[in-house]
Amino acid sequence: MEENSKKIETETEAAIKPYLRKSYLWGIIGFLGCFIFIIILNYFKFLNINILQHILYSLIFGYISWSTFFGIWIFEIWIIKIIKRLSKNYAKILSILKKTFIYYILRLFIGTIIGSLGGGLHNYLSRKKVLKVHQFVVNELLCITTSNPDAKKLFWNGLINLTGRGTSAVNVAIENFENAIKLDPNFAEAYYYLGYAYWRKSEFDKAIEKFRKATNLDPYFIEAYVRIGDMYHYKGELEKAIEEHTKVIKLYPNQWQTWEAYASRGYIYLMKKKYYEALKDYTQVIKLYMKDYDNYRHNFYYEALHTTRGYIYLLFSKWEKARTDFEKTIEFNKKYSEAYILLGIYYWKAKNNKEKALEYFEIGFQNRFQDFEALYDFEKGFKKEFADFGLQPSGLNLAYGYFIKDLNQTPEFKNLIEKYKKINL
């Protein structure tokens, strides 16, 4: 019986292989077909989309094609296995079945459903991976303090829901954390993530209350202290934010986690045009951050920190220090467009080398720089319309026009702008 079962499995796999190949083929065909169709629509002015949107739509269509045929492939497995289990004449039954119209309708319908479920399963597994990382971070860095297994289970359920999107997932997470706290009122991490959940809902006062409770329960909970300052920043109460971040820095000046407090405070100083204070904070951030750089490599923070500090050096005309920071960023990420733009500014202001400056500006544009308005914004520091918060993986909200008031009026510069605006936007 076991031998017969293995034989059926082998025959099934052999029968299904062509469908597997077809699913990949149809994914490619779906992508190329959509890509060409959009080119035609663009040509006749029925659509007007950039190349990134073009590729994105094509990938989505290709994924739908692949998932549908992947679902059909699974459906074929089921049908063949069922028929083989029911009858020895499975080949004859299958050939008759494949001649009927209803079979193909059923195959397409069920295949699409299975394909969609496959996409959902992929998202679920991705969230599980996120949770595993989250568990590692919380266990290793925050050290869960509760010994109550039910509270711990509710806590992990809360984290799972926090990885989801939408208000409903956050509300479930809040319920999980609150129930965990009922079981263990001294569960500091549950208070922290409850605050985080309220932050997600933009309920900053409630978030502050929960983060504060976490610090009362655990005086060494540095991340919770930092989040309190961040919440005041979001509320627009910048002096209170500075006060809170300064508290953390005084309590734990040399802990590597304190780099976030220095970064947030430095960012506020830059907003308030207190450039000397901002420079000191960013220098300390980099010093602390590099202490555990190999284990905690948040790439975009590294890039943003050096690029922003280099910008401040430009404001103080410390040209070579600025150049060193920009080159460090490029050494780490050769596609970080803002660093090339700022190197172009360096060559224009420090070396008066127009040719070299334009060369670096073009490299920045080639690496998908999109903030062209900032090149004509003459503010020092952040752009006039700046309204964002935090260090960004791309787009630092800095104004560049202040440094290039003459260069940005030249025909060569304007030609570069016109050329790459069409490509990048």
Domain coverage including residue 344: 317-425
SS (H, E, C) the chain: CHHHHHHHHHHHHHHHHHHHHHHHHHHHHHHHHHHHHHHHHHHCCCCCCCHHHHHHHHHHHHHHHHHHHHHHHHHHHHHHHHHHHHCCCHHHHHHHHCCCHHHHHHHHHHHHHHHHHHHHHHHHHHHHHHHHHHHHHHHHHHCCCCCCHHHHHHHHHHHHHHCCCCHHHHHHHHHHHHHHHHHCCCCHHHHHHHHHHHHHCCCHHHHHHHHHHHHHHCCCCHHHHHHHHHHHHHCCCHHHHHHHHHHHHHHCCCCHHHHHHHHHHHHHHHHCCCHHHHHHHHHHHHHHHHHHCCCCCCHHHHHHHHHHHHHHHHHCCCHHHHHHHHHHHHHHCCCCHHHHHHHHHHHHHCCCCHHHHHHHHHHHHHCCCCCHHHHHCCCCCECCCCCCCCCCCCCCCECCHHHCCCHHHCHHHHHHHHHHHHHHC
In a domain? residue 251 = no
Position 340 scores a pLDDT of: 96
Cα 233–chain centre separation: 22
Res. 133 pLDDT band, cuts 50 70 90: very low
Question: Distance (Å, rounded) from C-alpha 23 to C-alpha 71?
Answer: 9
Last residue in a domain, options 65, 95, 130: 130
- In angstroms, what CA-CA distances link 197 with 97, 228, 229, 402? 53, 14, 16, 40
Position 98 scores a pLDDT of: 57
Last residue in a domain, options 130, 146, 165: 130
Backbone angles phi and psi of 398, in degrees to 5: -90, 150
Position 124 scores a pLDDT of: 46
In a domain? residue 216 = no
In a domain? residue 403 = yes
In a domain? residue 78 = yes
Position 380 scores a pLDDT of: 77
Res. 56 pLDDT band, cuts 50 70 90: low
How high is the mean pLDDT of the chain? 76
In a domain? residue 124 = yes
In a domain? residue 387 = yes
Position 424 scores a pLDDT of: 81
For residue 238 the two structure tokens come to 């910048």
For residue 329 the two structure tokens come to 């960023």
The amino acid at residue 396 is L
Res. 391 pLDDT band, cuts 50 70 90: very low
The better pLDDT of the pair 67, 415 is held by 415
Position 370 scores a pLDDT of: 87
pTM metric for this prediction: 0.64
Average pLDDT over residues 86-108: 57
Position 36 scores a pLDDT of: 72
Q: Is the pLDDT of residue 122 over 60?
A: no
Please count the structural domains in the chain: 2
Q: What is the pLDDT of residues 136-148, one digit of tens each?
A: 444 444 456 788 8
Res. 38 pLDDT band, cuts 50 70 90: low
Q: What is the pLDDT of residues 320-379, one digit of tens each?
A: 999 999 999 998 888 899 999 999 999 999 999 999 999 999 999 999 898 898 899 888
Res. 82 pLDDT band, cuts 50 70 90: low
Res. 12 pLDDT band, cuts 50 70 90: very low
Other beta carbons less than 10 A from residue 63's beta carbon = 16
Res. 104 pLDDT band, cuts 50 70 90: low
User: Is the separation of the CB atoms in 88 and 4 below 8 Å?
Assistant: no
Last residue in a domain, options 98, 130, 162: 130
User: Is the separation of the CB atoms in 204 and 234 below 8 Å?
Assistant: yes
In a domain? residue 85 = yes
In a domain? residue 169 = no
